[in-house]
Amino acid sequence: METELSLEHKPYLLMNGLKEIAHEFTGDENIFLGIKPYGFHAGNRIPFVAYPILLCEELEKNGKQARFNFFVFINDWEQTRFDPEKTNWKEFPFNVIPQFTTFQFSKDEAHDVDYWEKVICSAVHEVKERFPNVSIKCVRNSSMRDLPIMKEVVLKTIKNPDLLGDIMNNLGFPLHKNFPYTYCNPICPKCTSARTVAAIIKDEDISLTCSDCGHQGVYGYHDLYYWLYHKILALPRIKYFDIDLCISGLDHYKEKDFDSRYALYDAYGIKMKPTHILYTPALHGANGLQMGKSRNNCANIETEQLLQLIKKNPNTYEICIEE
Ligand SMILES: [Zn+2]
């Protein structure tokens, strides 16, 4: 890490990080887990099931009782895919623009939010089967639309995409100024496209032009739904649910998720209590490749087997499934 970190602002990594947190926490904290409603493979099971179980185990070894509140955020406001013609992942990973719509409005069967919410939440429920005093609550982004903190973040992001753009630029991810980049668009009320061009008028009215169907109109904040980029989407959730700990995959850490998170709190002027972030290892399949939906490399493994794998490799960044 290039950035200097103060003691209370440091990332917690792998099982060493987990042990430190278990030592520090009382067992009553609020814990953040977030995912797109699209698939759930063994790689997801590490941050969503295995690490929560290991955290509860470790806490109880220290003589405390696990009564954590786990919030499982179902990101139905994320894009189903980015526009490949307007994105250049390798050079400009933060010049993003959605191609179609969000999970909330996708009609593709593979993106069925109800279905995936059930799959994901019932998987996390295994933590409660082992530690009955914890609570598990699933929350869709769309259900948070009318909260004042969500409204504040959406309006600020539409008004000024450079709040995030400048942070990523300063962290060494250049932005291509000739490529479009926005981090929040209202969804077109006529065709549900997320490819809209919007501006804030009169404090909170939103004028919108759809790049797909050409529809134009002016709407109140509460009359629309939104596409919101995941880095920014984290803020209202952490603030509203008074989150103490986020559990997240290491790929986010490589994207400087840790540094950008704290810079975003400042840029958005949101007062946050110190939030811990615990990063979990990546899982590689028996073929040696990292698991992922976008990589088309998915497998399912029982939790017990995953727990054994993690205990055998407690501080390894990449855990491999054994044949
Ligand atoms: Zn439209």
For 257-305, write each residue's pLDDT tens digit.
Answer: 888 988 999 999 999 888 999 999 999 877 767 766 666 666 678 899 9
**Does residue 61 lie within any of the structural domains?**
yes
For 3-30, write each residue's pLDDT tens digit.
Answer: 444 445 789 999 999 999 999 999 999 9
**pLDDT of 164 over the 50 cut:** yes
**What would the 3-class secondary structure string for the chain be?**
CCCCCCCCCCCEEHHHHHHHHHHHCCCCCEEEEEECCCCCCHHHHHHHHHHHHHHHHHHHHCCCCCCCEEEEEECCCCECCECCCCCECCCECCCCCECCCECCCCCCHHHCHHHHHHHHHHHHHHHHHHCCCCEEEEEEHHHHCCCHHHHHHHHHHHHCCHHHHHHHHHCCCCCCCCCCCCCEEECCCCCCCCCEEEEEECCCEEEEEECCCCCEEEEEHHHCCEEECHHHHHHHHHHHCCCCEEEEEHHHHHCCHHHHHHHHHHHHCCCCCCCEEEEECEEECCCCCECECCCCECCCCCHHHHHHHHHHCCCCCEEECCC
Domain of residue 121, residue span: 12-144+229-320
**Does residue 180 lie within any of the structural domains?**
no
Task: Please give the distance, rounded to the nearest whole angstrom, from the Cα atom of residue 154 to the centre of ligand 1.
Answer: 19
**Does residue 189 lie within any of the structural domains?**
no
Task: Please give the distance, rounded to the nearest whole angstrom, from the Cα atom of residue 190 to the centre of ligand 1.
Answer: 5
**Does residue 44 lie within any of the structural domains?**
yes
Task: Please give the distance, rounded to the nearest whole angstrom, from the Cα atom of residue 216 to the centre of ligand 1.
Answer: 8
Task: Please give the distance, rounded to the nearest whole angstrom, from the Cα atom of residue 25 to the centre of ligand 1.
Answer: 48
**Does residue 158 lie within any of the structural domains?**
no
How many domains, the chain?
A: 1
**Does residue 283 lie within any of the structural domains?**
yes
> To the nearest whole number, what is the mean pLDDT of the chain?
91
Output the pLDDT for position 97: 87
Task: Please give the distance, rounded to the nearest whole angstrom, from the Cα atom of residue 219 to the centre of ligand 1.
Answer: 14
Task: Please give the distance, rounded to the nearest whole angstrom, from the Cα atom of residue 302 to the centre of ligand 1.
Answer: 43
Task: Please give the distance, rounded to the nearest whole angstrom, from the Cα atom of residue 100 to the centre of ligand 1.
Answer: 10
Output the pLDDT for position 231: 93
Output the pLDDT for position 274: 83
**Does residue 260 lie within any of the structural domains?**
yes
Task: Please give the distance, rounded to the nearest whole angstrom, from the Cα atom of residue 195 to the centre of ligand 1.
Answer: 8
Task: Please give the distance, rounded to the nearest whole angstrom, from the Cα atom of residue 185 to the centre of ligand 1.
Answer: 12
Task: Please give the distance, rounded to the nearest whole angstrom, from the Cα atom of residue 116 to the centre of ligand 1.
Answer: 26
Task: Please give the distance, rounded to the nearest whole angstrom, from the Cα atom of residue 186 to the centre of ligand 1.
Answer: 10
Task: Please give the distance, rounded to the nearest whole angstrom, from the Cα atom of residue 41 to the centre of ligand 1.
Answer: 34
Task: Please give the distance, rounded to the nearest whole angstrom, from the Cα atom of residue 188 to the centre of ligand 1.
Answer: 5
Task: Please give the distance, rounded to the nearest whole angstrom, from the Cα atom of residue 111 to the centre of ligand 1.
Answer: 20
Output the pLDDT for position 12: 96
Task: Identify the CATH number of the domain in which residue 316 sits.
Answer: 3.40.50
For 83-125, write each residue's pLDDT tens digit.
Answer: 888 777 788 888 888 999 999 999 999 999 999 999 999 999 9
**Does residue 252 lie within any of the structural domains?**
yes
Residues around the ion ligand 1 (C-beta < 5 A): 188, 190-191, 193, 210, 212-213, 215
